[in-house]
Each structure stands twice: as C-alpha cells, then as structure tokens.
A and B are shown apart, each in its own frame.
Chain A
Amino acid sequence: MKTGDMGVKTTTLEKALEWGRSNSLWPLTMGLACCAIEMMATQAADVDVARFGSEIFRNSPRQSDLMIVAGTTTKRMAPRVKRIYEEMPYPKYVIAMGVCVIQGGPYVDGYSVVMGVDKVIPVDVYVPGCPPSPQALTYGLITLQKKIRNETDR
C-alpha cells in the first residue's frame, strides 16, 4: 500500500449502488414535537451527523430518501405525514424517533394521538427513548445504513 499500488477491488454493481446510497442519505425532517429538538442537536456540531453523509436536513420531499418522524404524531397530522411520505421519490426509508412515534408513548390512552406511526407509513428503524439522545439517533442512522448496504443479501 505504501508504494501506491492499490491493487484491484472487485464488487457487484448492486453492492456499489447500495454503498453509495447508504452513505448519501438525504433526510426529510418531520419534526412534530419535542424530539425535533434532539434531531436538531444531531445535526449540530457536537454530534455532527454530516460525518455519515446525511447532512442536508430539508423540509421538502424533493430528492430526499429518508424520513425521520420525530415527535408525537397526532391524528390530525397523520394524513399530512402520509401525503409527504408519498411525495418522496423511491427508494425511501423511515426512521421512527421516540416512543410517541413508536406506540403512542405517554399518550397511550389519548383521544388525539396515533398509536404508532407504523399504522400510517412503513417504518425501517425504531429509535426508542423520550426523547432519544442525538447519539441514539445517530446509532439508528448507522443501523439503517447497514440495512441498506445488505439489501440484496436479504
């Protein structure tokens, strides 16, 4: 290696595509409640999520392939979440962040909260916690990247 001789690396086209896709995730933020603050902290310099190639958190579904649903999904918001998810181009992935999104959380008997966003849209990775720390969300992101990288194996 020191001589500059890099040798030959063989791979399949699928593997190369998966590698590229997993390391350039473009998140769409669905900041619905307090978890969104932790999501902003994940983006900030302290636990810089840009190290994992998912830097540009935008509020537009254009070009995005990852939706981070952060915060309590109310019944009134659920149709809007679904509509924005449908506007995203394929392939698309969803991270459910926080217990409210996973199963209702403290609002488990509430009249206004959806008991889990997986009733509305399919979820790939669940990040538990109330709210999850930025490190937990980063770990969820790495888990999703591993999942994308091994997609053809499954």
Chain B
Amino acid sequence: MYKIISEETDKSGMKVLNIDKADLIELMEDYRNRRYYLSSITGVDMKDHIDVIYHIHNFDKNDYICVKISTSDEKVPSIANIWKAAVVDEREQYDLMGIIFEGHENLRRILLPDEWVGHPLRKDYDLNKVQYISMDRDGNEHVSFDDKEGW
C-alpha cells in the first residue's frame, strides 16, 4: 500500500499529493481503477533535485488531483503502461528536462533533433552556446555549434 507523505490544497482548491517515487506506480494504478485520466506531466528543476508533477482528472466527478514526486538522480518510473497518454508526455519531459523514465518503451527526443546537446529547460543549460539545425537531402536533421552549418 502506498503512503502519502503530505496532502495539501492549493489556491484553486485542487488537492496536491506529495508521495515517494517508489509509490508512484501503485498510486497511479489505484487512481486509474477509480476512472482517473492523465492530463499532463511536467518537471521542475530545483537545482539539487527535480520535481515531477502529474495532473490527473476524473470526468465523472470533475476532480483534478496533482501528484508530486521528487527525484535526486533524474530517474523516475514510467507510467506509460498505465496510461498511453504518458508516452508522449514523458518523451517531452525527457527532451526538455532530461528526466529519465525507466520502463518507457521509446524514450527519445520529441521536439528537438536527436543530436541536440543538453536539455534546454534545465537551470544549468548554457544559453550562450547556440546550436544550429540543418537538414540534408534525405530529410535528416543535423545539429552544429557553427552558425555556417545551419540556422
């Protein structure tokens, strides 16, 4: 049985559950069986650790719940086996935040090209090192730090 570390209510009246990341799968399966659906997955870079935030929604009760977990080694269990919607959301968080979802069947970049260096929404991402994208005749994208080799 999963354990809820703390439960609070935010300004809009939404329930926020703070849980340990080891309990995530169990809690999400419980809510899936109670006809909750996944709305979104977001990540927050807190410098020493990363928060992963799940919003789930029940259409019958019109109930929104926010589930927060934190991770210090960038790794979280994937919930793609519980909701298919998580496949795309987890790829986006991997792309922009660098969170590794363990157990995801196809964890690769979705918004940026595969060759892109770094994860742009991380606080330690260096915006001064500008990367440029070009495309060859076959439609493959290439990333370069040289502005003459792309846009």
Interface residues of chain A, those whose CB is within 8 Å of chain B, are 75-76, 78-80, 82-83, 109, 111-112, 114, 119-120
B127 lies within 8 A of A75 (CB) = no
Q: Could you tell me how many residues of chain B have their Cβ less than 8 Å away from some Cβ of chain A?
A: 15
A114 lies within 8 A of B127 (CB) = no
**B131 contacts the other chain (CB 8 A):** yes
Interface residues of chain B, those whose CB is within 8 Å of chain A, are 111-113, 120, 125, 127, 130-135, 141, 150-151
Q: Give the tally of cross-chain contacts (CB within 8 A).
A: 33
Specify which chain A residues have a CB less than 8 angstroms from the CB of B151 in the assembled complex. Answer: 75, 78-79, 82, 114, 119-120
- Which residue on chain B has the smallest CB distance to residue A78? B151
A112 lies within 8 A of B113 (CB) = no
B113 lies within 8 A of A111 (CB) = no
A79 lies within 8 A of B141 (CB) = yes
Specify which chain B residues have a CB less than 8 angstroms from the CB of A79 in the assembled complex. Answer: 133-135, 141, 150-151
A111 lies within 8 A of B133 (CB) = no
Specify which chain A residues have a CB less than 8 angstroms from the CB of B132 in the assembled complex. Answer: 75
Beyond A111-B120, A119-B151, A120-B151, whether A75 also contacts B133 by CB under 8 A is: yes
B150 lies within 8 A of A75 (CB) = yes
In the bound assembly, the distance between CA atoms of A82 and B133 in angstroms comes to 12
- Which residue on chain B has the smallest CB distance to residue A83? B135
Specify which chain A residues have a CB less than 8 angstroms from the CB of B135 in the assembled complex. Answer: 79-80, 83
- Which residue on chain A has the smallest CB distance to residue B126? A111
B141 lies within 8 A of A76 (CB) = yes
Q: 15 more A-B contacts (CB under 8 A) besides A75-B133, A76-B113, A119-B151?
A: A76-B111, A76-B112, A76-B133, A76-B141, A78-B150, A79-B133, A79-B134, A79-B135, A79-B150, A80-B135, A82-B151, A109-B127, A111-B125, A112-B112, A112-B120
